[in-house]
Amino acid sequence: MYWLTAIVRPFKLNDVYDKLIDEGIGGMTVTEVKGLGSQRSTTEVYRGASYSNDFIPKIKIEIAVSEDSLERIIEAIVESAKTGKPGDGKIFVSKIQQAYRIRTNEIDLDAI
């Protein structure tokens, strides 16, 4: 099993979500985060003092996936999250040892 962490643009969340549902994933967990990367932040002026928020709002999507579907899901995210401009985000993949479904005590592939 793999743990897939995708950082995407907030306004792409809906597209990614629709796409992943199409791909038949059963669940995911979403967090509001702030990101720093090659994307430059905009500068605002407040009462004459300019300021820029170095950190840009992003959405982190975490999904536990089986080995089989890993490639397909990465594909799906890349496709639905891309705009081509800096700031589109990244996907990171790591291994999970175990998974449990609290409600049923099911484990591993049955749990996700």
Partner 1 sequence: MNTEALAFEHNYIFNTIFLLFSGALVMWMAAGFSMLEAGLVRSKNTTEILTKNLLLYALACIAYQVLGFDIMYVDNATAGWLPSFGFGIDATAEGATQPREVDFFFQVVFVATAMSIVSGAVAERMKLSAFLIFSIFMTAVIYPVEGYWTWGAGFLGASVEDGGMGFSDFAGSGIVHLAGAMAALSGVILLGPRKGRYSSKGVKAMPGANMPLVALGTFILWMGWLGFNGGSQLTLNSIEDANAVGKIFLNTNAAAAAGALVAYLLSTIIYGKADLTLIVNGALAGLVTITAAPDSPTPAQAVLFGGIGAGIAFFAINFFDKIKIDDPVGAISVHGVAGIVGVMLVPFTKDVSFLTQFIGIAVISAWVFGASFVVWFAIKKIMGVRISEQDEYHGADASECGIEAYPEFVGSQS
Ligand X SMILES: Nc1ncnc2c1ncn2[C@@H]1O[C@H](COP(=O)(O)OP(=O)(O)O)[C@@H](O)[C@H]1O
User: What gap in Å lies between CA 108 and CA 112, rounded to an integer?
Assistant: 7
Q: How many CA atoms lie within 13 A of 76 on its CB side?
A: 21
Residue type for position 50: S
Contact partner, 98, from partner 1, a copy of itself, ligand X, none, Cβ < 5-8 Å per class = a copy of itself
Q: Minimal CA–CA distance to 13: which of 112, 70, 92, 88?
A: 88
Of the residues 26, 41, 109, 110, which one makes contact with a copy of itself according to CB under 8 A: 26
Phi, psi of 60 (to 5 degrees): -100, 125
Binding status of residue 112 toward a copy of itself by CB under 8 A: yes
Residues that bind ligand X (CB under 6 A): 7, 26-29, 35-39, 56, 58, 62-64, 86-90, 101, 103, 112
Residues that bind a copy of itself (CB under 8 A): 2-3, 6-8, 17, 26-38, 54-55, 58, 60, 64, 74, 77-78, 81-103, 105, 111-112
